[in-house]
A and B are shown apart, each in its own frame.
Chain A
Amino acid sequence: GAVVSQHPSRVICKSGTSVKIECRSLDFQATTMFWYRQFPKQSLMLMATSNEGSKATYEQGVEKDKFLINHASLTLSTLTVTSAHPEDSSFYICSARDPGQGRYNEQFFGPGTRLTVL
């Protein structure tokens, strides 16, 4: 099956700093990637949809200036949390859609990144 990686798996940063999380599709080209946020014991909340070579589409209520998304290549999307605050502490998960799946368009998920802001 297709593999999606995320780096780093865990990150701790100080309040006010910026943190970048990478999402890579390792064995397929992903024209679309998705970024989710998951709070403890809760479901996945879609933050934004990232399309290669164009601006990301953010879900309602998600600050685009706070969560910068770049999808510069068919295998890499990055999420930058700018001026992080403790309330940004969460588990961030990316997924990548394999267009080779045709009509079905299965999404493959990365292992997630745990962000802790002190």
Chain B
Amino acid sequence: AQTVTQSQPEMSVQEAETVTLSCTYDTSESDYYLFWYKQPPSRQMILVIRQEAYKQQNATENRFSVNFQKAAKSFSLKISDSQLGDAAMYFCASKEGAQKLVFGQGTRLTINP
């Protein structure tokens, strides 16, 4: 069974600085996808970034990038030049093939002005 673990319940960063959120996962499949979702106070889930397991290159979306360590089953999210609007709950998730998403426990990110 898939499992996703986020060991940081809360993180904080100064505005304009860089922060890294940690995530580890476990899967027995070779075909899987990894995601980071953002849930702001509105509670709307927003896809931040995704990574296909078969791709070695780390995904990047503007200020958001991942460090995908397949052998270590680690998938961290780096947010550069943090902005006040980045404050939210961040969930790491995995999906095996076309199966269901499995979410981690979440990390609450606070941005200090």
- Which chain A residues have a beta carbon within 8 Å of chain B's beta carbons? 34, 38, 41-44, 46, 49, 91, 93, 95, 104-107, 109, 111-112
Contact = CB atoms under 8 A, between A and B. Distances in A.
A42 B45 contact: no
Interface residues of B, number: 20
Contacts, number: 39
Secondary structure type dominating chain B contacts:
strand
A43 B43 contact: no
Interface of B: 33, 42-47, 50, 52, 91, 95, 98, 100-106, 108
Contacts of A44: 45, 91, 103
Contacts of B43: 38, 91, 93, 111-112
A112 B101 contact: no
Given A42-B106, A44-B91, A104-B33, A49 B100 contact: yes
Contact of B91 (A41, A43, A104): A43
Contacts of B50: 104, 106
B106 A46 contact: no
Given A46-B101, A105-B98, A111-B43, 16 more contacts: A34-B101, A38-B43, A42-B106, A44-B91, A91-B43, A93-B43, A93-B45, A95-B45, A95-B101, A104-B52, A105-B95, A106-B47, A106-B50, A107-B101, A111-B42, A112-B44
